[in-house]
Amino acid sequence: MPGHAWTMVKRIVRAYGAAQNDENINVEGVARLAGIHRPIVSANNNFLRSVGILDLDRLKLTALGVKLATGIGIENASLVTEALAEVVLTTPILYQLLSTLQARGPMDIAAFRAQVILAVGLNENSANLPMVKTIVDLMEESTLIQIRDDKILLGGLADNGFMQTAIINPQPPVTDLNINAGNNQQNMAPQARSQSGDWAEMLLAKFPQFDPAWTDDVKLKWFDAFDRLMKGRGI
């Protein structure tokens, strides 16, 4: 789970983007660039790894993280939206939440929050329960969901068939968002890598069949997603 509000998480991502070319960067340096205290960065690093934004082994952004940081830095809403949509579609738990919404239709905000709580393994006594809002805010900014009249429903990208391009990250994310900020990343990385093939095979089984009737735009997205899925399987 994230350790702070979505606005703070984006601030940290932006700082990582500014430090991307600094080979000697450390958490203290990222915190200094963000203008925040070091523990705030540390509290969010594992979450950023779990959604494929931060590299599993280094304090460096992934290609997806660079895209997001660039969009945030230049205040390009479309680039941020595109990056966040990819985050949601390539993070198993977030994709699961999106699929639940697709299956059930519009949900009360409280009901959707309950699904988030269940998906990440929290309970009523969890200290980071307030951070559920961070997950919802991330998904809303991706435009894959939207909030209207106290209801959460699929957003424009999802309605337009963008979910058909869902793929697993070529660099596997940590398999569960419910991870403690204090865990050592070296201890988590092997587990995440060992799970990547299983996730890819599960996703392949559910991958939509190619339909010649699709628009050219959807066809291109399908081919791109299929290619990346094959890379995720090591093919």
Task: Record the tokens describing residue 165, joined without a space.
Answer: 């391009």
Alpha helices per DSSP H over 154-215: 156-159, 185-206
Q: What percent of the chain has pLDDT over 90?
A: 55
Q: What is the pTM of this model?
A: 0.70
pLDDT tens for 209-223 read 666 666 666 666 666
The separation between the first and the last C-alpha atoms of the chain, rounded to the nearest angstrom, is 31
Domains of the chain, earliest start first: 6-76 (1.10.10), 78-162 (1.10.10), 165-232 (no CATH)
Q: Is the four-CA dihedral 126, 127, 128, 129 of positive or negative sign?
A: positive
The span from the CA of 218 to the CA of 216, in Å, is 6
Mean predicted confidence (pLDDT) in 189-196: 44
| Position 176 pLDDT exceeds 60 | no
Residue pair 177/88 in contact (Cβ under 8 Å)? The answer is no
pLDDT tens for 51-106 read 999 999 999 999 999 999 999 999 999 999 999 999 999 999 999 999 899 889 99
Q: How far is CA 5 from its chain centroid?
A: 15
What integer pLDDT is reported at residue 188 of this predicted model?
Answer: 40
When mean pLDDT is compared across 2-11, 121-130, 175-184, the lowest value belongs to 175-184
